[in-house]
Structure 1
Amino acid sequence: MKKGGFRLTKWICNDKGVLRAVPQMERAMEVKEVLLKDDRLPAKPQTKQGFLSMVSSKYDPLGIIAPSTIQAKIIFHDECRRGIGWDEQMTEHNRAAWRQWLNDLPHLSQVRIPRCYHPECANPITTVQLHHFCDASQQAYGAVSYLMITSGDEAHSTSFVCGRAKLASLKQQTIPQLELGAAVLAAKADKQLGKELELQIDRSVFWRDSMITLQYIRNIERRFHTFVANRIATIHENSNAEQWRHTSSNQNPTDDASRGLHGAELKTIGQRIQRRFLTLQMETRR
């Protein structure tokens, strides 16, 4: 641009090495430089307000570290059940759990996830599939989505797309009800990804380990009460009953999001995903 007579100014970058290569007068003057240290976390009061501020500061739009953040939200949920004020001290048990969660955060910098959707070895592409897994526990529920690309020689390439985890309601709900909530997340994720991904999706498959939920989804004759009926309607609006399949609990990756993982455990999430890719490929062939 400079050779063409165009002088670019007001540079800003989140990489310090890049920014050092830009003369001071060419940088954006109104932006302040914030020095962040990996080994230091901002001090927050040990209250509901301080804890929520800390959890909300974790920017994770793709849900890669959802198993870690949901663990923190479960602690917050427990404090909400106590009905205490925002500025009251948390219980000693939950403060200890919070400290443990904070100590685990540095491990997140070591999380590595393969994100390439379309490797060169997958040419020419014959089919593109989305596979969604969902699961629920008494405390939380979630869904995770994978993209599977099949090439002409029947080789499969599978990659993580996104995940999402939500807390269960403070109002007591049954596991089947929470499982339906997880299925709704998966169905909505499929619709959203179909719009956002710049790929022609040939097939979408939904996996879960709850036979009760599958029976709910496949039953089109029986009338259900409002809670169940509304969620089944949303699932049917975004998917077909034939797309839903059963998988074993130990092969369901969403188990991590519904129950949570420590930061040290999350370090191995890349390897865990790779192992599940192999299982996914074998189950898809059935």
Structure 2
Amino acid sequence: MTVHLFGGTWCPSICSFVLRHTAEVNQTGCDESVVETVRKNFYVDDCLKTLPDVETAVKFIPQLCELLESGGFKLTKWMSNKHEVLESIPVQERAKGVEVNLSQQALPTERALGVYWNVEEDVFCYKIALKEKPLTRRGILSMVSSIFDPLGFASPYILQAKKILQE
């Protein structure tokens, strides 16, 4: 028997495995799209899901919560780009900054997978703070490499900078 110790830092692959295992074991009587969401739309502890309309989303959230609660998981920090969906979620389970009066104020900007999501406009944004680096090959490479782009949206622009460095 092999024993794995990870200390106080959780291993992302173990988190993903346990979430998927919970969905597989408890899928009886559950909508297949909810189980599929656990399989394909979670990255460690973040779930990113697009649904066709507000009604579907309002029905979907309790089903996903119920499925994962059967394994001891409590989903919190909910965010949506639709006010109606957020109003269906208890205030204490919404993301920070969403305790505002939803009918009068704009939604905040959230972080998802290291990228900023402007919820109100439903667009991804990048906040890049370039530090003063010398205008040398090493300094430019350091600036280009510091841009975190896990989804690859900024790749066409980063590629141009890398091409300049190669030349």
Q: TM-score of the superposition, structure 2-length normalised?
A: 0.29
Structure having the higher helix fraction is: 1
Q: Which structure has the greater CA radius of gyration? A: 1
Structure having the higher strand fraction is: 1
Q: TM-score of the superposition, structure 1-length normalised?
A: 0.20
Bigger RCO (CA 8 Å, 6+ sep): 1
